[in-house]
Chain A
Amino acid sequence: MGILELQRINKKYKNAEKFAVQDVSFKVKKGEILALVGESGSGKTTLLRLIAGLEHPDSGCIWLSGDKIAEGRTSVPAHKRKVGLVFQDYALFPHLTVLENVSFGLHHTNGNITKQAQEALEMVGLHENHHYYPHQLSGGQQQRVALARAIAPNPKILLLDEPFSNLDAVLKDQVREEIRHIIKKAEITAIFVTHDTRDALSTADRIAILHKGYLQQIDSPKNLYEHPANPYVANFFGKRNEIIATPTVEGFYTPFGFIKDSRSAEYHNPVRLHFRPQHAKILRSEEQHLSGKLYSVSYYGDHQIVQLTDDEGHRICIRTGPNKKFTGKDWVFFTLERFGIEEVF
């Protein structure tokens, strides 16, 4: 049973030309972490605000744990939804202490408010700083206060808006793990928005890709990466090479040489072969392999990216180990370990 369900949600802002969110439907299972991924303007933040009740759909329904919370232009106000949200800028109340911030949402609950707030702070490891004011804390600590404040009232679902965007690269890896750990420990269903695919791949149980307001694909990180539903999704997760090929009975003729592959028999018209840079392997010998003219080599410390061109100047990228030497070489030989085939229309 999904705890959250969106049915055919449409949203257009006033004065905007295009829809921010178009015909989006998906379900979120209890306890899972879903990442909403897309470029800026893809509608991911709008979707988060629609779920929170800070924006309202033009049409479509939203269900939260069995209750309909939005239908067309009618809607349950944000303060009655029991949804937690961690803002990108944290939005801590500057005039309240850490403890008061975390207690703020606990007034509807029974029992000892201070104790519950303390527990939430303990969960994020900040129980010793409870009497501080937000401006006395570091950015990372402020974020954890915001997280504790959102979790404390025990929301039905936790939303996080770009939770990793304000952190520097070193801190990011650590925070990603920490936040995932806290959310899983609290057994909360969570949705977070990000433009960084690495955040999504490493933190989420499932990922929804948005582009121009449309939901492109929603699946587990592994499936998205290996079986993208369309070229947009495929390109979104890193570079993808595409070469045009002509099928024969035995294989494909490409500008880089002939590839022997039995799948070619299924095709009659030219096709597009695609592969990721790491799925091509550079070889020494001149056997039955593909070859391209060396265009450039970029060194990245733990790997190198080699660019090759065909006679017409089309370029492909190949990822290789950091120690391969290319000095004095004009031609590079390679083979494809894995590639996909798409028909060209």
Chain B
Amino acid sequence: MEKINLKYYWWNRWTGFALVIVVLVTIPILTLITNIFGPPGSSWGHLKENLLYDYFINTLALLAGVAFCTFLLGVSTAWIISSYNFPGRRYFEWLLILPLGFPGYIMAYTYTGLLDYAGPIQSILRNSFGITVQGGIIDIMNLPGAIFILSVSLYPYVYLLARSSFLQQSKTLQEAAALLENSRVRTFFKIALPMARPAIVGGIALASMEVLNDYGVVKYFGVNTFTTGIFRSWFSMGDSSTAIYLAAILMLIVFAVLFLENLQRGERQYTSRSTLNKPIERSQLSKIGQWSLTAICVCILSVSFLIPLVQILYWVFLTYHKVINEEFFILIYRSFSLALISGIVIVILSVILLYALRLNPSKWVKGITKLAILGYAIPGAVVAIGIMIPVLGLDKFLARHLSADGIGLWLTGSLSVVVFAYVVRFMAVGYQPIESGFQKTGIHINEASRLLGAGTSKTLFKVDLPLIKSSLFTGILLVFVDVLKELPLTLILRPFNYHTLATKTFDMATNEMVAESANPALVIILTGIVPIIFLNKMIRMRQV
């Protein structure tokens, strides 16, 4: 008989792998923390005196403005969709999510083009109504403009979470409110809204993370924030210590947002777990009421998606013959393969992390997996700085010991570092669908396999993975789309003269080739829409 040995039960190779992954993924944060205590860079004094105040005010104003606007847009659309019946409701349900596929920086160029002197809006005003805008411009290239752009592209986060919270609220609660002679409006303010608060604030927190991550919009509009400050220190001044200081402050703001979000949520669990709950019944309005709701949805969708999309299509029509050539297809191929590789790597790592947790669901394993997906809260520019510094150090070390002349960069500016950065930043995106996939299959199936003599690896490949195939696919798809539109991180870490669709769009738009930039932008938007439609279909199929 095979000899069997006793060993510590919490130890298996998966725990080991998970530990290694977590150590690697937390490198950027650790770098920042250790470097905060270094001496300030040469430009820090100047920056502190002249710019830091601006950075603070602009970043906070941006956060507050976007929070307020996404709240209004997201909650109102969510309430309309979840509690009224009106023509087109079934379509608006997912159409309203589409702006998520429209990166903010592309929206920014598009609206600037739409509103400038030669753009369609001013042309129509001039030619049809004889109105000439004073000074020739409708200026959105400022702080309120940035708030507008970010709000219309980020409100779907609030919409999605608020909607699902409204839908989970039970019919009986609303009926109870109605029996106590509350109007629909009063019920909304007294019951639905307070109950949905944790979800709504969660949505606003997600939108805030994106605001803090944004570089494209604020750079284009000339609004100085911490992200633009990091770029300025790193690229223009070559002052890495100052960049680290700024990155650290930005990270503190992120943690403050997360802390506030956590604080308001507390231990509260408003969602009722009862299976008896029926979803709220949609009320029937008069014909006029119904069509006005449709009109509201059409307006929001037009401003946040359709109008900019039409402008992009028009630009593409004007310029495609100049832009679409062999080089453009190479660009697409490179971008897609980079995104696909990142997606696959992230999904593999997520599976390892979650499998370690599945085999040993103890608190500390849970803790390290949570640590591994923290990157999603950290702005891309901060991740990039946190990776760049140790990589540069490692390169110096390698050069000193391996190359004859003591110079050479092996890692800096290589694609593997870019992929690594994507892994740090987007781990959570691939992790979540796999987590829910594992939850759905339950642990007993895994245990049954192991009791039948299959080791942990065989169980993973023969039992667990075949059952979560669609989650794996979803994970890759979501990462793919996020990587494709990622800008600040790619700008800092990409190899010299290497372009992705996102950096190319940014490059063209900032170099007076806005119309031409619409070509790569359109590819990003179209691929961004795919998972929204696809996931919506999947959710629908589950509901049926």
Could you say which residues of chain A place their CB within 8 Å of the CB of B362? 14
Among B12, B363, B453, B467, contact of A94 (Cβ-Cβ < 8 Å):
B467
Among B9, B445, B448, B456, contact of A74 (Cβ-Cβ < 8 Å):
B9
Could you say which residues of chain B place their CB within 8 Å of the CB of A93? 445, 448-449, 463
- A76 x B453 contact (CB < 8 A): no
- A79 x B451 contact (CB < 8 A): yes
Using known A-B contacts A14-B363, A56-B9, A95-B466, determine if residue A77 contacts B450 with beta carbons closer than 8 Å.
yes
Interface mask (A92-116 → B, CB under 8 Å = 1, otherwise 0): 1111000000001101100000000
Using known A-B contacts A54-B447, A91-B444, A93-B463, determine if residue A153 contacts B6 with beta carbons closer than 8 Å.
no
- B452 x A153 contact (CB < 8 A): yes
Cα distance, A149 to B362, chains bound together (Å): 29
Could you say which residues of chain B place their CB within 8 Å of the CB of A82? 453
- B453 x A105 contact (CB < 8 A): yes
- A9 vs chain B, min Cβ distance (A): 14
Q: Check A87 for interface membership: any CB of B closer than 8 A.
A: yes
Could you say which residues of chain A place their CB within 8 Å of the CB of B452? 79, 84, 104-105, 149-150, 153
- A272 vs chain B, min Cβ distance (A): 44
Smallest Cβ-Cβ distance to B445: which chain A residue: A91
Among B4, B12, B363, B453, contact of A69 (Cβ-Cβ < 8 Å):
B4
- B451 x A78 contact (CB < 8 A): yes
Instruction: Tell me which residues from 431 to 460 in chain B have a Cβ below 8 Å from any Cβ of chain A.
Output: 442, 444-445, 447-456, 459
Could you say which residues of chain B place their CB within 8 Å of the CB of A73? 8-9
Smallest Cβ-Cβ distance to B1: which chain A residue: A67
Cα distance, A165 to B459, chains bound together (Å): 28
Could you say which residues of chain A place their CB within 8 Å of the CB of B454? 79, 104-105, 107
- B9 x A91 contact (CB < 8 A): no
Q: Check B322 for interface membership: any CB of A closer than 8 A.
A: no
- B4 x A80 contact (CB < 8 A): yes
Could you say which residues of chain B place their CB within 8 Å of the CB of A149? 448, 452
- B8 x A91 contact (CB < 8 A): no
Q: Residue among B7, B450, B462 with the most chain A CB within 10 A?
A: B450
- A76 x B455 contact (CB < 8 A): no
Number of interface residues of A (CB under 8 A): 38
Cα distance, A76 to B447, chains bound together (Å): 14
Q: Check A68 for interface membership: any CB of B closer than 8 A.
A: yes
Cα distance, A252 to B463, chains bound together (Å): 67
Among A69, A71, A79, contact of B455 (Cβ-Cβ < 8 Å):
A79
- B451 x A76 contact (CB < 8 A): no
Among A15, A67, A89, A107, contact of B453 (Cβ-Cβ < 8 Å):
A107
Cα distance, A87 to B9, chains bound together (Å): 22
Q: Check B5 for interface membership: any CB of A closer than 8 A.
A: yes
Q: Check A208 for interface membership: any CB of B closer than 8 A.
A: no
Smallest Cβ-Cβ distance to B469: which chain A residue: A95
- B452 vs chain A, min Cβ distance (A): 3
Using known A-B contacts A14-B363, A89-B444, determine if residue A79 contacts B450 with beta carbons closer than 8 Å.
yes
Smallest Cβ-Cβ distance to B448: which chain A residue: A91
Instruction: Tell me which residues from 259 to 310 in chain B have a Cβ below 8 Å from any Cβ of chain A.
Output: none
Could you say which residues of chain A place their CB within 8 Å of the CB of B463? 93
Instruction: Tell me which residues from 144 to 183 in chain A have a Cβ below 8 Å from any Cβ of chain B.
Output: 149-150, 153
Could you say which residues of chain B place their CB within 8 Å of the CB of A69? 4, 6
Could you say which residues of chain A place their CB within 8 Å of the CB of B444? 87, 89, 91
Residue pairs across A and B with Cβ atoms less than 8 A apart, 27 shown, are: A15-B363, A52-B447, A54-B450, A56-B9, A67-B4, A68-B6, A69-B4, A73-B8, A73-B9, A75-B7, A77-B455, A78-B450, A78-B451, A79-B450, A79-B453, A80-B453, A81-B4, A84-B451, A85-B447, A87-B444, A87-B448, A91-B442, A95-B466, A104-B462, A108-B453, A150-B452, A153-B453
* Residues of chain B whose beta carbon lies under 8 Å from any beta carbon of chain A: 2, 4-9, 12, 362-363, 442, 444-445, 447-456, 459, 462-463, 466-467
